[in-house]
Chains A and B, each alone.
Chain A
């Protein structure tokens, strides 16, 4: 560090001396100056030239420069990458304030097997710069990307540390996860391993968790098939291209960033306290007509001290997240490297629940000679989880959160003997605290290495060969001790399971780029690629342990007769030809043609190959002479594209085969295996195709102070690989086939970027993203018969069910609800079937039963209607502020539409009879209907025997649109002077994550409240430090 510093100084000195000697003759002045950017930070290494001469220098560490002998009247030119070059007449002291190059359009965008200037992109590509994303308290770059790009809808499905996410690009019509390509090499998806154990932890995010967000430079998303076709059959879910940071020419750059965050549980529903629980239980006994079974006397209730045990409190805590990142990058003209290490640790809000990750990365680029260049990108990550039981289990299967919500509040955690207390009424429910004794560790390792060799025989022609592999390895260990109910009944259950996945890839790409006659810009790429993905795994699950002490680490002591053992291994191959033509005429007219031919071993020989083309064109109107002089218009580009991608699915469908069924039968009481025919193959299966049409416009006004893009798209999915029913009497009565169904997605993506203020001291930018789409099934198989309430062209996300009209009141009886008594939900009998003369139901031309408006005295499918549509409308607003050395950010995202059945409320109220077994219920049950509370709006005890599932009605269906205040942060960058320039910059910041959710939904978090025992979401408060040396 220091030596290089000195070296630079010496170089400057030598240069100055040289210059001095050359130009002593004329009348000269000494020019001293400083170069800064708009925020007032000095610019180091900017080139300072005397125009028209060879003399010049670069700015030093303080942004200062000295030019000793400058002819009077000369022009000084200051330039620096990423900034607009400035010229000024020389004077003895000068200050240059460089403004950032507003021609943002000329950013380079990664498009798959190459890059393109943003101005010459004609497909639909969104880009996100990673350093604009707030990192505090986020493990996965996926979580940070929520709402960041229009057309990419990312939602967290579970709020546990490292919890799972769903990523849907443009409506997720393909049903496939997007392909994630890191530095040109696709990642293999990892497998979940835990199976067959009594408890399992939360769903985990597997796609992006292995990446250190601080390593990422840019994220480019290929949204439409005209662009994504270059990835052919892997691209049906869209493509996310991640480019990691690499070393740059210049002095070493060392940076540290770290933060610590505290997390507090949010939106936890209120359950009855002990006294209310006893009161409500007694009432329920009365309402059920079982008053003589009451458990508590009025006296006992009156004398109960305190509120009882708050089980949620017993199993949760304040969560802590801390992270530390260190990176070092440097480079000479020959060798550039970046090295980074990171550590991330998340102690979740549930006790004993944690996740931590270490990552390391080494990116090296080496120029060997004029023609050859090579490099590697290597990253290693290890993510360790300690899980707690989660999920939707009820009764004896209740997992941690649900059992903490519902376990009887009248007992304390431990009984007199110091054992976990039981539910004294019905001893089958697990004590929530006992579930914390479970050991559940998952370690997931990823080694992802790729190397390239680039050969450039002439300026225009480049050959690049890449080899890469991604090895993922997951080990899951679990032990359920005898202190838990399940563990007690099984004498402990231990398991060890693992899964390995590996992807090997080799490709060779040739690129030819040349500008002819100054106006014809041509870029041609062609190449071949081979990819092999393989997987293997094994697992043992066994119980009957003589003691708990060894956990799952000595499975041999298990006395179970036939432990569950399994292993598997498989592989598939894909070979591809890839090509692209990119032609730009006069910087105005742009044509891009992508073509990929994929062969996949998932299909039989006759159907292995698929061709996936993509064509797009763009017209840059602002380059036309008739618009060039319109000052307020800085960019206007029309784009149109059409393309195809394919999907081989996760097929196993071409082969007929048998599988082992373990423990199919127990002759003499000893389990024996069987082998059963389990899959009927279809050799005629072929690729699914997705065809995209996209038109868009990119615009920029007032020197790009207001810029953005609008894209309209339409996508069709055809030859959809589905499972079809054969006649039900067959041994195997399903087969995979290419369906005649057609799915369609239509929508619009809107991105706006506005620079509201941009002065020396104050800056404010606003970004808005908005997507609107609707998916439909437009065509069906010939044999398809719509349900009575179903449209032939059906919108996805429709929620069908019965309409309700409050509750049945005293002495009311409805013929269509023969089993419903007062206090039950009044489902509405809206329609009946139209019958012919023989009393048979009549069908319309599409085969659907005809229904007639008006009650028919029966509640059945004919009474179902579309209650709502839950298709989200993703939306986000990002505001970034800068005031002198302060910076601030406010980020909101959400969905403007959403509907959800409040499962927990449904379970708690519909299952109110369980309170007689000592299962606690939501406070809202106090508001249930009963003869004593005829104004209650929640269903009474009678609902449970109505014979109708309230989940398929609008009774518990709630609006669930939301807007989340995801980030509020404020930072201060200390002037480097304070550190005597030894440190380049120090930024200290504080941020609040997930501070508020605006929603009409009454359950837990509308994004992560899935099922009955969802992990509570958290608000986080973080402080962090970024230091650059």
Chain B
């Protein structure tokens, strides 16, 4: 017995000292095992799309104020919200670089997304280094590059150029390299490299709606050129997209069909976030944000009753504009009561942009209608704009492009006055764009491009101060870009320079 025990003890000692202790966790996938196959590449790219989800604080298309589309529209004349919180801070541009609170948090979240550029770049490099057939590698790296360009566009749009890490810096994440912002030229080069590759490698039609295509990549680059004021390059791209009409894209006959459940995947849409009312991370919440709780809608739908189109903007729509049909000015609620400006806080502030059609399966706040990001009518209006800006004259071609959009909206062609001069024509295009793309998150950039963003904001500020006795401060052209949160400037040891804000 005694010897037995000693043997046992000796064995135990041996076991303890000789074997290396091992840890096991099946939920971790180690770099030596991934990515290895074509499916792996698709999974890696799918993970990149996640950052563009329509829900959650970091999702680019969150329907809250921090989402790109809402943030872009609510700082203009075309969207407002009847929730106190920070809606008025946005609508009246009451933000400044040293502020705290919810707006600062939203801006922080928007800027913090800049690490997506590193994420996508690493994905591209992993795809290219993987041992998979070249065709698949080209396709998926093209997709990753287009996604990178897409995020880079929004970052540039909101903040101007952001710092971008080189491959060498990415390879050594533990070393602190304090990067300045790229110059505009460096940013141009990055955008062109990524997106030109993507345009080359992506298919014309996606295997599934929502995935990147040649046209979507062109559209992203077109948007970038428009921001940069490269109207000649923009015109070329717009013509390339225009050439895809018929084979890939078309102008839908019915405006409202584009935003309907049945219209999912219609060929006017160039890029969308596909939605599914049963998937909380991929549902369209824009409807719920607008929908009053007592509005007769899908049986299981829930409305949060927030967003409105301010009445003064609503009033700019022409009579008979079909695009106005889904902007609700009065309704009979579920209890049979007539609701209008006189008895609804929401309608008192503005009309209800129920742009996205009813999804009968909408449950709670989750609707399954795809979120539209870019569509073909934007190609027409952008091309018209480029032609005028490049040529200095409203050409017949340009005018007819705009009139195609107007015609679809049930409106007469532009008047002679509106097409008479470059300035008048551009004004008409800006207004047309406002009506065509309400709630689509394009208004802010359009106003900036036309030099009206700050002017309009000051108009609202002055009116509120005069009429309601508010004490809002006026703003200057610095507001065309958001401020960069001080945290990032501090982190870069001052390498990142603030935008044009004096406080």
**A52 touches B (CB below 8 Å):** no
Residues of B near A731 (CB, < 8 A) are 115, 118-119, 122, 170, 173
Contact of A490 among B26, B43, B276, B363 (CB under 8 A): B363
Please provide the chain A residues from 350 to 397 with a CB less than 8 Å away from any CB of chain B in the complex: 371-372, 396
Specify the chain B residue showing the minimal Cβ separation from A684. Answer: B174
How would residues 846 to 865 of chain A score, 1 for a CB under 8 Å from any chain B CB and 0 otherwise?
A: 00000000000010110000
Residues of B near A534 (CB, < 8 A) are 24
**A630 touches B (CB below 8 Å):** no
Residues of A near B170 (CB, < 8 A) are 730-731
How near does chain A come to B163, taking the closest CB pair, in angstroms?
A: 6
How near does chain B come to A526, taking the closest CB pair, in angstroms?
A: 11
Contact B23 A727 (CB under 8 A): no
A570 to B179, CA, bound (A): 40
Residues of A near B293 (CB, < 8 A) are 426-428
How would residues 257 to 289 of chain B score, 1 for a CB under 8 Å from any chain A CB and 0 otherwise?
A: 000000011000000011110110110000000
How would residues 115 to 152 of chain A score, 1 for a CB under 8 Å from any chain B CB and 0 otherwise?
A: 00000000000000000000000000000000000000
Residues of A near B344 (CB, < 8 A) are 293
A461 to B431, CA, bound (A): 96
A570 to B265, CA, bound (A): 43
Contact of A729 among B2, B12, B117 (CB under 8 A): B117
How near does chain B come to A132, taking the closest CB pair, in angstroms?
A: 39
Contact A671 B112 (CB under 8 A): no
Residues of B near A561 (CB, < 8 A) are 276, 278
A506 to B13, CA, bound (A): 11
**B325 touches A (CB below 8 Å):** no
Contact A947 B488 (CB under 8 A): no
What total of A-B pairs shows CB separation below 8 Å? 249
**B331 touches A (CB below 8 Å):** no
Please provide the chain B residues from 442 to 492 with a CB less than 8 Å away from any CB of chain A in the complex: 471, 488, 490-491
Contact A669 B368 (CB under 8 A): yes
Contact B471 A676 (CB under 8 A): no
Contact A667 B274 (CB under 8 A): yes
**B50 touches A (CB below 8 Å):** yes
**A732 touches B (CB below 8 Å):** yes
Contact A506 B12 (CB under 8 A): yes
A732 to B12, CA, bound (A): 41
**B247 touches A (CB below 8 Å):** no
Residues of A near B174 (CB, < 8 A) are 726, 735
Residues of A near B50 (CB, < 8 A) are 661, 664-665, 674, 676
Contact B115 A733 (CB under 8 A): yes
* Stretch binding the partner chain, chosen from A303-311, A341-349, A572-580: A572-580
Contact of A735 among B29, B173, B177 (CB under 8 A): B173
Contact A570 B210 (CB under 8 A): no
Please provide the chain A residues from 701 to 737 with a CB less than 8 Å away from any CB of chain B in the complex: 726-733, 735
- Prevailing SS type, chain A contact patch: mixed
A122 to B170, CA, bound (A): 54
Specify the chain B residue showing the minimal Cβ separation from A561. Answer: B278
Contact A568 B24 (CB under 8 A): no
**A543 touches B (CB below 8 Å):** yes
Contact A656 B30 (CB under 8 A): yes
**A844 touches B (CB below 8 Å):** no
Contact B279 A463 (CB under 8 A): no
Specify the chain B residue showing the minimal Cβ separation from A942. Answer: B84
**B211 touches A (CB below 8 Å):** yes
How would residues 29 to 51 of chain B score, 1 for a CB under 8 Å from any chain A CB and 0 otherwise?
A: 11100110000100111111110
Specify the chain B residue showing the minimal Cβ separation from A598. Answer: B21
Residues of B near A652 (CB, < 8 A) are 25, 28
- Prevailing SS type, chain B contact patch: loop
Specify the chain B residue showing the minimal Cβ separation from A945. Answer: B84
Residues of B near A568 (CB, < 8 A) are 25-27
**B16 touches A (CB below 8 Å):** yes
Specify the chain B residue showing the minimal Cβ separation from A732. Answer: B173
How near does chain A come to B389, taking the closest CB pair, in angstroms?
A: 34
**A569 touches B (CB below 8 Å):** yes
Interface size on B, residues (CB 8 A): 95
Indicate whether A674 sits within 8 Å of B46 (C-beta atoms), given known contacts A488-B300, A528-B12: yes
Residues of A near B345 (CB, < 8 A) are 290, 293
How near does chain A come to B376, taking the closest CB pair, in angstroms?
A: 20
Residues of B near A600 (CB, < 8 A) are 21
Highest count of chain A CB atoms <10 Å: which of B47, B300, B335: B47
Contact A575 B16 (CB under 8 A): yes
Contact A665 B21 (CB under 8 A): no
**B89 touches A (CB below 8 Å):** yes
Specify the chain A residue showing the minimal Cβ separation from B490. Answer: A785
Contact of A489 among B49, B207, B294, B363 (CB under 8 A): B363
Residues of A near B122 (CB, < 8 A) are 677, 731
Contact of A658 among B15, B23, B29 (CB under 8 A): B29
Indicate whether A729 sits within 8 Å of B208 (C-beta atoms), given known contacts A490-B363, A945-B84: no
Please provide the chain A residues from 550 to 568 with a CB less than 8 Å away from any CB of chain B in the complex: 560-562, 568
Highest count of chain B CB atoms <10 Å: which of A371, A665, A813: A665
Contact A573 B43 (CB under 8 A): no
A818 to B85, CA, bound (A): 14
Contact B368 A489 (CB under 8 A): no
Residues of A near B300 (CB, < 8 A) are 488-489
Residues of A near B2 (CB, < 8 A) are 455, 457
**A605 touches B (CB below 8 Å):** yes
Specify the chain B residue showing the minimal Cβ separation from A726. Answer: B173
How would residues 326 to 354 of chain A score, 1 for a CB under 8 Å from any chain B CB and 0 otherwise?
A: 00000000000000000000000000000
**B194 touches A (CB below 8 Å):** no
Contact B173 A730 (CB under 8 A): yes
Specify the chain B residue showing the minimal Cβ separation from A535. Answer: B25
How near does chain A come to B488, taking the closest CB pair, in angstroms?
A: 6
**B438 touches A (CB below 8 Å):** no
Contact B173 A666 (CB under 8 A): no
How near does chain B come to A761, taking the closest CB pair, in angstroms?
A: 55
Residues of A near B342 (CB, < 8 A) are 292
How near does chain A come to B414, taking the closest CB pair, in angstroms?
A: 38
How would residues 393 to 406 of chain A score, 1 for a CB under 8 Å from any chain B CB and 0 otherwise?
A: 00010000000000
**A601 touches B (CB below 8 Å):** yes
Contact B302 A428 (CB under 8 A): yes
A658 to B24, CA, bound (A): 15
Please provide the chain A residues from 288 to 326 with a CB less than 8 Å away from any CB of chain B in the complex: 290, 292-293
Specify the chain B residue showing the minimal Cβ separation from A859. Answer: B100
How would residues 205 to 216 of chain B score, 1 for a CB under 8 Å from any chain A CB and 0 otherwise?
A: 011111100000
A860 to B118, CA, bound (A): 33
Contact B49 A665 (CB under 8 A): yes
**B437 touches A (CB below 8 Å):** no
**A680 touches B (CB below 8 Å):** yes
Please provide the chain A residues from 631 to 647 with a CB less than 8 Å away from any CB of chain B in the complex: none
A426 to B291, CA, bound (A): 12
Contact B84 A530 (CB under 8 A): no
Specify the chain B residue showing the minimal Cβ separation from A944. Answer: B84
How would residues 91 to 134 of chain B score, 1 for a CB under 8 Å from any chain A CB and 0 otherwise?
A: 00010001111100000000010110111001000000000000
Specify the chain A residue showing the minimal Cβ separation from B207. Answer: A667
Residues of B near A666 (CB, < 8 A) are 210, 273-276, 279, 282
Please provide the chain A residues from 927 to 948 with a CB less than 8 Å away from any CB of chain B in the complex: 944-945, 947-948
How near does chain B come to A365, taking the closest CB pair, in angstroms?
A: 18
Contact of A292 among B26, B31, B207, B343 (CB under 8 A): B343
**B203 touches A (CB below 8 Å):** no
What would be 6 A-B contacts, judged by CB atoms less than 8 Å apart?
A489-B300, A572-B21, A671-B279, A672-B46, A675-B34, A726-B173
Q: A489-B300, A726-B173 are in contact. List 19 more A-B contacts (CB 8 A).
A: A426-B293, A486-B364, A488-B300, A568-B25, A575-B17, A575-B21, A577-B16, A666-B210, A669-B209, A674-B49, A675-B43, A680-B173, A727-B177, A728-B114, A728-B488, A729-B163, A729-B165, A730-B115, A813-B471
Residues of A within 8 A of B (CB): 290, 292-293, 371-372, 396, 424, 426-428, 455, 457, 463, 465, 486, 488-491, 506, 508, 528, 530, 534, 543-544, 560-562, 568-577, 599-602, 605, 608, 652, 655-661, 663-677, 679-680, 726-733, 735, 785, 813, 818-819, 858, 860-861, 913, 944-945, 947-949
